[in-house]
């Protein structure tokens, strides 16, 4: 080996070891690898930041934004309502959940697709008297399977398309992945619909992570304005018209307050209703009935903030806050701090009076409306800790179909090669901003910066491996080992090797490492490069063996109450199925001697 080859192998070896060690953030590790490569002379300084402007990085960023817009659209709610009508048959319910996630993952980020259905799966399981663990792992695995359907289904597919362009001169088209991906998904869905029985029955899920998705018993106050569709309805009819659980616990009419009113009471104009529900049901109530949250809509007129700067956050009242033992009226939240109190979840007892008169305590969770730019400072000032963002879009109308139309147009433009995929999806992001589907801060928040830095930093490093002849060296070594093996066995070896490294690396890093090696091996053996590159993409996307190889697997570990070994129990049979299905399909769709 040449000195440059030794240097590149050493850098990549140390990088992989640090990835496996998992004590440093992967984006910092990638930047350190890039820095070392430049200092040691294997990556020219002028090429160090070439990855930042690579179309792959831009494409991944734009897909994350469009995925966030689709996941927040009312279009997804339609699919969720269909699920609520499914019988309590656990196999049918799990199969439908997995099918929906698989379909959605083909056109948006895996984690984004999983995040859409995660709270629904938890709620559906509880309603059916089942443990969420029976659905969540199949759901996570389904999100990984769905990524194999299209070019945009998962970042490894986009990366492998770039490697293919470098190897044969043309990238993959949008649905080149579909023939093999459909076969894998079909088998996977059937397996996952029944395979959850392999999960130990005593997995019940950790309380804290689950609470991130379900915060119940909020008490909110809404006003029935002219034109509300609920006018004339009884309280029972109004409650039953909402998909989520909601209860009217009080009503104020003509300055007379009545707690726990009869459900036969008719709703009238100017009624103030105290409702107990979670924020999702509250949003549906406000949107469907054209109700007004107390003081909602006035804040924009009384501040210098533009409408798009006004938003809603959840926060918990901390010890020492001046809100403790005070009421909203006493605090004068709107005049002093520029925020409205929209809802309260009491930590110690039920709220049974108007929000302005509720006495607040440490640990209460409040929903506040105000200027999002100054909200962090305001929360610190009043002694509240913001909860993890849960996409509370109270008071903001949903554009149910528009994000889906934007996604479809971007897919069509790239499929028919009207414009490159990076430009098509960049146009989609601009449309999302122009139509105000997402606020600007939400667009930037949707972009997963550590993933982009990982890609941009490792691209020059892995390119150096090819430049110094390292990939050819590895391909020669594997070819020597497999010289007596048949082409299908060599293809299987590449697939299994990709699956083996992915749990210890980020899946994108696994593609950047294995892709050039697979292409070089195929060329050396005179076999079809496409079959080998597709094998790498599948192997890097289908990590079912550990909770650390992919974010989807990690995301369900807490809510599902899983142990490390549970992933092997259910994931190993699925891994074997993927190998058994994908190798023959790859040879059919991409003949090895082609």
Single out the residue in 386, 412, 447 at which a domain terminates: 386
At 86 the pLDDT is: 59
Confidence of residue 590 (pLDDT cuts 50, 70, 90): very high
Among 328, 352, 386, which residue terminates a domain? 386
Token pair of 498 as six digits: 């990709």
Contact 368, 312 (CB under 8 A): yes
Task: Read off the tokens for 558.
Answer: 């807490």
Other Cβ atoms closer than 10 A to 79: 15
The burial of 87, by beta-carbon neighbours within 10 Å (0-12 exposed, 13-18 middle, 19 or more buried), is given as exposed
Q: How confident is the model at residue 142 (pLDDT cuts 50, 70, 90)?
A: very high
Helical spans, DSSP H, in 22-128: 26-39, 55-71, 74-84, 90-105, 110-127
Note whether residue 353 is domain-resident: yes
Helix or strand run (H / E) with residue 273 = strand 272-277
331 with 275, same domain? no
How many domains, the chain? 2
DSSP H helices, 544-563, are 551-560
CATH number at residue 243: 3.30.70.1450
Given 329, 359, 386, the domain boundary residue is: 386
Residue 205 inside a domain? The answer is no
234 belongs to a structural domain: yes
| Residue 317 pLDDT exceeds 90 | no
Q: Are residues 276 and 322 in the same domain?
A: no
**pTM for this entry:** 0.61
Q: Which domain holds residue 284?
A: 215-293
SS3 label, residue 338: coil
Whether 579 has a pLDDT exceeding 50, the answer reads yes
pLDDT tens string 171-222 = 998 899 999 999 999 999 999 999 988 888 766 654 433 343 344 456 778 8
Question: Is 345 in the same domain as 287?
Answer: no
Q: Give a yes or no: residue 316 inside a domain.
A: yes
Using CA atoms, how far residue 326 sits from 219, 357, 568, in Å, is 17, 9, 52
* HEC letters along 565-590: HHHHHHHHHHHHHHHHHHHHHHHHHC
Q: pLDDT per residue over 31-62, tens digit each? A: 999 999 999 999 999 999 988 888 878 887 88
Does 327 reside within a domain? yes
> Is the domain of 334 the same as that of 379?
yes
**Does any domain span residue 395?**
no
């Amino acid at each position: 080996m040449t000195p440059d080859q030794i240097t590149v192998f050493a850098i990549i070896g140390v990088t992989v070891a640090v990835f496996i060690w998992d004590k440093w953030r992967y984006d910092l590790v990638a930047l350190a690898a890039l820095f070392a490569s430049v200092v040691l002379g294997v990556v020219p300084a002028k090429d160090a930041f070439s990855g930042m402007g690579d179309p792959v990085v831009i494409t991944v960023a734009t897909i994350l934004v469009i995925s966030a817009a689709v996941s927040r659209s009312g279009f997804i709610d339609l699919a969720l309502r269909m699920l609520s009508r499914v019988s309590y048959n656990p196999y049918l319910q799990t199969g439908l959940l997995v099918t929906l996630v698989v379909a959605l993952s083909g056109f948006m980020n895996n984690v984004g697709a999983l995040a859409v259905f995660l709270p629904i799966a938890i709620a559906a399981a509880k309603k059916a008297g089942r443990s969420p663990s029976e659905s969540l792992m199949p759901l996570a695995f389904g999100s990984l399977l769905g990524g194999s359907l299209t070019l945009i289904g998962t970042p490894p597919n986009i990366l492998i398309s770039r490697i293919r362009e470098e190897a044969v001169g043309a990238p993959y088209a949008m649905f080149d992945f579909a023939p093999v991906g459909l076969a894998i998904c079909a088998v996977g869905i059937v397996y996952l619909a029944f395979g959850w029985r392999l999960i130990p029955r005593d997995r019940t899920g950790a309380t804290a992570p689950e609470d991130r998705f379900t915060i119940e018993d909020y008490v909110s106050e809404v006003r029935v304005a002219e034109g509300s569709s609920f006018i004339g309805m009884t309280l029972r009819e109004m409650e039953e018209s909402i998909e989520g659980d909601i209860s009217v616990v009080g009503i104020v009419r003509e300055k007379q307050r009545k707690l726990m009113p009869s459900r036969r009471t008719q709703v009238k104009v100017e009624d103030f209703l105290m409702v107990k529900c979670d924020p999702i049901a509250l949003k549906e109530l406000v949107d469907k009935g054209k109700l007004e949250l107390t003081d909602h809509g006035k804040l924009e007129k009384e501040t210098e903030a533009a409408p798009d700067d006004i938003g809603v956050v959840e926060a918990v009242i901390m010890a020492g806050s001046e809100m403790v033992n005070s009421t909203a009226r006493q605090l004068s939240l709107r005049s002093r701090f520029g925020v409205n109190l929209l809802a309260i979840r009491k930590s110690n007892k039920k709220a049974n009076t108007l929000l302005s008169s509720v006495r607040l305590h440490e640990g209460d969770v409040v929903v506040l409306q105000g200027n999002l730019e100054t909200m962090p400072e305001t929360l610190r000032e009043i002694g509240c800790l913001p909860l993890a963002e849960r996409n509370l879009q109270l008071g903001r109308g949903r554009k149910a179909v528009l994000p889906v139309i934007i996604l479809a147009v971007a897919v069509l433009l790239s499929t028919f090669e009207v414009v490159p995929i990076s430009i098509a999806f960049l146009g989609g992001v601009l449309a999302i901003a122009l139509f105000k589907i997402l606020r600007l801060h939400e667009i930037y928040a949707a972009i997963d910066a550590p993933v982009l830095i990982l890609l941009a930093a490792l691209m020059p490093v892995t390119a150096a491996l090819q430049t110094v002849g390292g990939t050819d060296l590895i391909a020669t070594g594997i070819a020597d080992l497999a010289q007596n093996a048949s082409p299908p066995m060599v293809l299987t070896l590449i697939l299994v090797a990709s699956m083996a490294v992915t749990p210890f690396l980020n899946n994108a890093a696994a593609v950047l490492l294995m892709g050039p090696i697979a292409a070089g091996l195929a060329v050396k053996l005179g076999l079809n490069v496409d079959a080998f590159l597709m094998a790498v993409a599948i192997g890097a996307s289908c990590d079912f063996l550990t909770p650390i190889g992919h974010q989807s697997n990690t995301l369900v570990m807490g809510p599902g109450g899983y142990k490390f070994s549970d992933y092997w129990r259910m994931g190993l049979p699925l891994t074997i199925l993927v190998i058994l299905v994908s190798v023959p399909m790859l040879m059919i769709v991409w003949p090895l001697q082609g």
